[in-house]
Amino acid sequence: MLDATPKMLPGSDERMSRIPLLLDIGKNGPRQPNGRTAAERIHASKHKVLSVVGARPNFVKLAPVHRALVKRFDHVIVHTGQHYDYALSEVFFQHLNLPDPDYELNVGSGSHGYQLGEMIKKTEEVLLLEKPEIVVVYGDTNSTLAGALAAAKVRIPVAHVEAGLRCFDMTMAEEINRVLTDHVARYLFAPTKTALRNLVREHCSGEMFFTGDVMVETLRENMKGVGRSSQMIDKLDLGSRPYVLATIHRSENTENRNRLANIVEAIRRIGKRVIFPAHPRTIKALTECGLHKVLMSCSNVTLTSPMGFLDFIEVERNANVILTDSGGVQKEAYLLGIPCVTLRERTEWVETVSSGWNRLVGVDVERIVKAVHSFRPRKPRRAVFGTGKASERIADLLCGGLKHCV
Ligand code: UD1
Ligand code: UDP
């Protein structure tokens, strides 16, 4: 029988006894990553790195990095609970072959202040218990910033995967999260050369590295058997006719009725089949604005639940055009060679635009419809996101940072 009772660390009695009040320690009690109990992990001889994740795009980035970290470190995974629906969270752990999180903080939805406050408070508790040597955060969600701030405040070095991305619009929650995370991070892993230049220009104090983008690996690893593991093409009857894949969830578009109405009108006018796996935020906004029934009545539109990663990339790689406001989807469209029409005025993934594969159209109905019908990029695509070795490089660099990694 495995011992499920964590041993007390010196001076930690009070904190340890408080932990169960705030935290769910894994789904089935303390987990045994790599076959070890929580107590054994705490006393493990390997250096300990802890990742904080919480939302769909965090999980997609965590997957390859976890595989590289676990070869060299004791890797602890903390899930803040920002995303909690099966379709936004658990399915990604299954499809991406990730172990269950070691800690689930169950923070859930709420205002940004509430969400960040709860995440920071609960993450700090875990950090004081686990005492990792480095905390790794991913991308630009509230979970990213909360993990970074919690670690910085207890003086644990922060490593930021996907550092340096900027769209230069500080009204966006994601831009605030990126900038602040980068300025407290000790290790900055830039996915593109532009991102590296942004970090240099801002005089970030951490050590900066161009590593390439870890999502190249996520996509590459999962493209292999995807045709076999996903039945989505048959299920949606997408075999023969061209279709557009649409994903819309950014608050700039969903929380503004006029923008959302324009997007719905454009989708209606596109005429072609549109597959639209909708985020719960989008369904909520469409319903509140009375636009859900408009979309449901469009014969060309198939509104679905959010898709698991393997189903999504199968539908993505077979699409004729992608219509999106997602950061990750713009990048995947480029990597897959699918024309991308982006429902934003600016993007942090500037290489996708300058290479000619991504067109920024905002929410102008005519521009959206025209781009979907006529935008057919032909230019060659360069390896602007690196060659698929980012995770190993990140793990090596963290080993170097800890010098005596086992
Ligand atoms: C978050 C990220 C965004 C990212 C997106 C990926 C921030 C500030 N935003 O936005 O950058 O692109 O994730 O999908 O971190 N909800 C559910 N079920 C869930 C989670 C959320 O129904 O499992 C609903 C709730 O009504 C919630 C709303 O979606 O209020 C928004 O969720 P939240 O996590 O705050 O932001 P996202 O829009 O998901
Ligand atoms: N994604 C998914 N199912 C969906 C929509 C998106 O698996 O229904 C994946 C997509 O392949 C990408 C990631 O989610 O890897 C992007 O996350 P999202 O668009 O939610 O966030 P963003 O990248 O905009 O922060």
Superfamily classification of domain 13-213+387-402:
Glycogen Phosphorylase B; (3.40.50.2000)
- Residue 277 alpha carbon, nearest atom of ligand 2: 8
Query: Where do the domains of the chain lie?
Result: 13-213+387-402, 226-374
Position 30 scores a pLDDT of 44
Distance 254 CA to ligand 1 centre (A): 11
pLDDT of residue 230: 81
Q: Which residues are catalytic?
A: 249
Q: Is residue 60 in contact with ligand 2, taking CB distance under 6 Å?
A: yes
Choose the residue to mutate in 247, 316, 349 for probing ligand 2, maximizing ligand atoms within 8 Å of C-beta: 247
| pLDDT given at position 23 | 58
Give the CB-side neighbour count of residue 33, counting CA atoms within 13 A: 26
**pLDDT of 304:** 97
Ligand index nearest the alpha carbon of residue 280: 1
Pocket test for ligand 1, best of 89, 107, 109 (most atoms within 8 A of CB): 109
Question: pLDDT tens for residues 332-375?
Answer: 999 999 999 999 999 999 999 999 999 999 999 999 999 999 99
Task: Tell me, in angstroms, the distance from the centre of ligand 2 to residue 204's CA.
Answer: 28
Give distance in angstroms: CA of 62 to centre of ligand 2. Answer: 13
Q: Is the CB of 57 under 6 A from ligand 2?
A: yes
Q: How far is the CA of 333 from the centre of ligand 2 (A)?
A: 11
Would you say the CB of residue 312 lies under 6 angstroms from ligand 2?
yes
Topology (CATH level 3) of domain 226-374: Rossmann fold (3.40.50)
* pLDDT value, residue 269: 96
247 touches ligand 2 (CB under 6 Å)? yes
Question: Residue 402 has what pLDDT?
Answer: 79
Residues 6+ apart with CB under 8 A from 330: 324, 340, 342, 347, 349, 352, 358
- Do the two domains 13-213+387-402 and 226-374 of this chain adopt the same fold? yes
Which ligand is the nearest neighbour of the Cα of 278? Answer: 2
Q: Model confidence over 139-193: pLDDT tens digits?
A: 999 999 999 999 999 999 999 999 999 999 999 999 999 999 999 999 999 999 9
Q: Is the CB of 332 under 6 A from ligand 2?
A: yes
Which of 338, 364, 391 lies closest to 265 in space, CA to CA?
364
Q: Which ligand is nearest to the CA of 106?
A: 1
- Residue 401 confidence (pLDDT): 80
Q: Which residues of the chain have pLDDT under 70?
A: 1-45, 403-406
Tell me the C-alpha distance between 56 and 249, whole Å.
12
Helices (H), 224-273: 226-229, 232-235, 251-254, 257-270
Residue nearest to atom 20 of ligand 1 (CA): 83
For residue 88, give every residue at least 6 positions away whose Cβ sits within 8 Å of its Cβ, in sequence order, or none.
Answer: 55, 56, 279, 280, 306
Q: What is the pLDDT of residue 228?
A: 77
Taking the alpha carbons of 206, 210, 213, 217 in that order, is the dihedral positive or negative? negative
CA distances from 228 to 231, 310, 335 (A): 8, 10, 21
Enumerate residues lining ligand 1, CB below 6 A. 55-57, 82-85, 88, 109, 140-142, 173-174, 249, 279-281, 284
